[in-house]
Amino acid sequence: MADFTPKPEYKFTFGLWTVGNIGRDPFGAPTRDPKTPAELVYLLGEVGAYGVNFHDNDLIPIDATPAEAEAIKKEFRKALDDTGVVVPMATTNLFSDPIFKDGAFSSNDPRVRAYALQKTMNAIDLGVEFGAKTYVFWGGREGTETDSSKNAAEAIKRNREAMNFVCEYVIDQGYDLRFALEAKPNEPRADIYNPTTGHMLAFIETLDHPEMVGVNPEVAHEHMAGINFMHGVAQAWEAGKLFHIDLNDQYPGRYDQDLRFGSRDIKAAFYLVKFLEDVGYENPRHFDAHAYRTEDYEGVKDFARGCMRTYLILADKAAQYNADKEIQALLEEINVDDGSMDQYFGKYNAEKAGALRTQPFNREAISSRGLKYERLDQLTIDLLLGVR
| Positions in the binding site for Mn ion (CB under 5 A) | 218, 246, 288
- Provide, rounded to whole angstroms, the least separation between the CB of residue 182 and ligand GCO: 5
Per-residue contact string for residues 163-182; x = within reach of ligand GCO by CB under 6 A: -------------------x
For ligand GCO, the closer of residues 184 and 274 by Cβ is 184
Q: Residue 136 touches which of ligand GCO, Mn ion, none (CB < 5 to 8 A by kind)? A: ligand GCO
- Indicate the residue type of 56: D
Position 218 contacts ligand GCO (CB under 6 A): yes
176 annotated active-site: no
Query: Amino acid letter at 224?
Result: M
Number of amino acids touching ligand GCO (CB under 6 A): 10
Which one from 3, 25, 33, 55 is the annotated catalytic residue? 55
CA contacts within 13 A on the Cβ side of 346: 8
260 part of the interface to ligand GCO, by CB under 6 A: no
Between the CA of residue 221 and those of 92, 136, 193, 312, what are the distances in Å?
Answer: 19, 15, 13, 22
* Contact status: 138 vs ligand GCO (CB under 6 A): yes
Total Cβ atoms within 10 A of residue 208: 13
Q: What is the Cα gyration radius of the chain?
A: 23
**Could you confirm whether 55 is annotated as catalytic?**
yes
Q: Which of 40, 60, 79, 136 binds ligand GCO (CB under 6 A)?
A: 136
Among 246, 249, 265, 277, binds ligand GCO (CB under 6 A): 246
Binding mask 183-212 for ligand GCO (x = CB under 6 A): -x----------------------------
Q: Rule CB under 6 A: which residues touch ligand GCO? A: 91, 136, 138, 140, 182, 184, 218, 246, 256, 288
